[in-house]
Amino acid sequence: MTALRRLLPPLLVLPAMLMVPAVAFAHAEGTISYEFPLPIWMYAMGGAVAVLVSVPVAMVARPGRDRLSQNVYRPIARLHLGAIGTVLATLVLIDVILGGLFGSTEFISNPAAIVIWVDFWVGLGVVSALVANIWDFTSPLSALVRRVDGGLADRGAAATAYPERLGMWPAVGMLIVWAWMELCWPKGVEPRVIAIFILGYLAVQVLLSALFTAEVWLPRGELFTAFARTLARMAPLELYVTEPAGPCLARSCSDDDDERRGCPACWQAADRWHRGLRLRLPGAGIHREAPLPRGGAAFVVALLATVVFDGFSNTDRYGQLANWLYDNGPVWLRAHDSTQKTILMVAIAGGFALVYYLIAWLIGRLERSSASIAATRYAPSLIPIAAVYFIAHYLTYLVIYSQFTPGDLADPFEREWVPDYDVWTHLPSTLVWWLQVGLIVAGHIVAVFQAHRIALAHERPPRRVPTRSAALRHAPLTALMIAYTAIGLWVLAQGIKASA
C-alpha cells in the first residue's frame, strides 16, 4: 500500500504528460513555429483526465498527517528577520515613489513600474503560494498602521465596529480595480500614475485601519494582505501559536482553539517562545485554517478569473473576438479600447462567478444547505487552482523583467549611474512548458483532495474514513475543476500550431 501511494503522483500526472511531447518550444518562445501532431483539445483533455483519475484516489485515501516537521522558528527567533525585511521594504517603497514621480516614463527604466507590477505583485503571489505569507511581517503599511493602532489605544480612542456583513468585499473591489489598472487601463503602467496611486492607497488604508483597527481591516480591506493570506493557505510553511495571548484581534479564529494556525494577528500578539513555524503538506492550510469570511469566495473566484482573462487576452481568439466587437459593436466602442477590454474582463469574471454560484447551489441541494454557505465552504479548495494559474501565467514575466530591478532601484532617476548590463531573456522553453503543465495539473489534483477533505469535515456525523457520500456532494465542484484544467491548458497552448 505504501509503494502504491508513492507511485500515485506520477501516475496521475502521466496522462497529461503523454499529451505534450516537444510542444514546449512553441509556447515559451513565441517565435518558434512548431506543428503539434495532435489537436490542442486532446492534450488539454489529457490534463483533465489526470484530474479525473485523482477523484477515486481521493475517495479511498485516508486523511494523513499534515504536519511534516516540528517547530523551526526557535532557531531564527532572535534574528528579527521581519524587522529587517520591513526596513528594506520601506527603503524600496521610498525609491519607488520618488522614481515614479521624478524618474523616467519608460516601463523598464523606472522602479515604480518594474517593482510594483513585476517584483511586488507577481513576486508576492509566488512567494505566498510556494513559501509562506511574509507580507504581514515585512509590509511597511502593516508596520505603520499597527503603530498608529498602538498610539490610538494609548490615548483611549475607541475603534468603530466593523460591519461583519462586509466581510472581504472591500478587498474584492480593490482586486477588481487593481486588475483593471493592469489589464484594461493604458495609464495603469505609467510610473507617475503608479506613484500617485500608491500615495493615495496608503492614505486610505491608514485612515480605515485607524477607524476599524489594523488587525480587523487589513485582511478584509487591504488588497495585498488579503492576497498574501489567501494564497498562503497553499504554502508549505505554517504559522501557529501554542498559547494565544488572548482573543483573536482579527476576529477570524475561534477563541477556544488551543493552537491557532495561519493567523498572523495571533502570531504577532503571542510571546516569542509561544510562536511556531513548521512544514506541512502543500495545500493543507485550506482545511486546517479558519474559514474564509464573507466575500472570501468572491475574492478567490475574482483572482482566478482575472488571471485567466489576462492569459486569454493575449491569444488570437481574443483578437478575433475584439475585432468582431469592433465591427459589430456600437460606434463609441470602437474608439475606446480600454472600455472594450473592461467589458470583456467583467463578462469573463461575471461568467466565472455565475458558474461557481450554480455549482455551489447544486452542492447546497446535495448537502441541504444554502448556496451561499456552500460557496463559502468550498471556495478555499479553489485556492490551489488560482495559485498555480497565477504562477504558471506570470513565471516567465517575473524571471525576465525582474532582472531590470537592481539597475532601476540604484538609478531611479535614470542618471546613468549604473553601467549597462545584459538581461538574460532566453529561457529554456522545454523547462517552462513542463513547469506550467505540471503546476496546473498538480494544483488541480491538490484542489480535488482538499475539496474532499472539506466535505468529510462537514459530514453528519463526522467520520474519519472517507465516504462515497462526501465525494458525491462535491462532485459538481470536481466537474468544475476538471473544466478549469482543460481551459487553463487550452489558454496556455494558444501560441502552438496544432493539427486540426
Q: Write out pLDDT tens, residues 312-326.
A: 887 778 888 888 877
Q: Output the nine-digit C-alpha cell for 343.
A: 467589458
Q: How far apart are the first and last CA of the chain?
A: 42
Supply the angle between the helices 296-312 and 337-367 in degrees, to the nearest 10. 130
Closest by CA to 18, choosing from 39, 47, 41, 56, is 47
The length of the chain, given as a count of residues: 500
Q: What is the mean pLDDT of each run of 10 residues along the chain (500 residues)?
A: 37 33 32 47 67 64 71 85 94 97 92 95 96 95 93 88 94 96 92 97 97 95 97 94 86 78 90 90 90 92 91 81 79 74 89 91 86 90 92 89 93 85 76 80 86 76 54 76 79 55
Which pLDDT does position 243 carry in this prediction? 84
Cα dihedral: 246, 250, 255, 260 (round 10): -90
Position 462, amino acid: P
Are 395 and 438 contacting, i.e. CB atoms less than 8 angstroms apart?
Answer: no
**Could you give the 3-state DSSP secondary structure of residue 478?**
helix
Q: Are 191 and 100 in contact (CB under 8 A)?
A: yes
Q: What is the pLDDT of residues 425-444, one digit of tens each?
A: 777 777 777 788 788 888 88
The Cα–Cα gap between 45 and 483 comes to 9
What Å distances lie between residue 262 and 217, 218, 474, 485, CA to CA?
17, 15, 25, 28
Secondary structure (DSSP) of 212-256: H-HHHHHHHH-HHHHHHHHHGGGSSEEEEESS-SSS-TTS-S-TT
C-alpha cell at 18: 503523454
Single-letter code of the amino acid located at 176: I
Q: What is the pLDDT of residue 63?
A: 63
Could you tell me whether strands 275-279 and 237-241 are parallel, antiparallel, or unpaired per DSSP bridges?
antiparallel
Q: Who contacts 200 (Cβ-Cβ below 8 Å, separation ≥6)?
A: none
Q: What is the DSSP string of 373-408?
A: HHHHHHGGGGHHHHHHHHHHHHHHHHHHHGGGHHHH
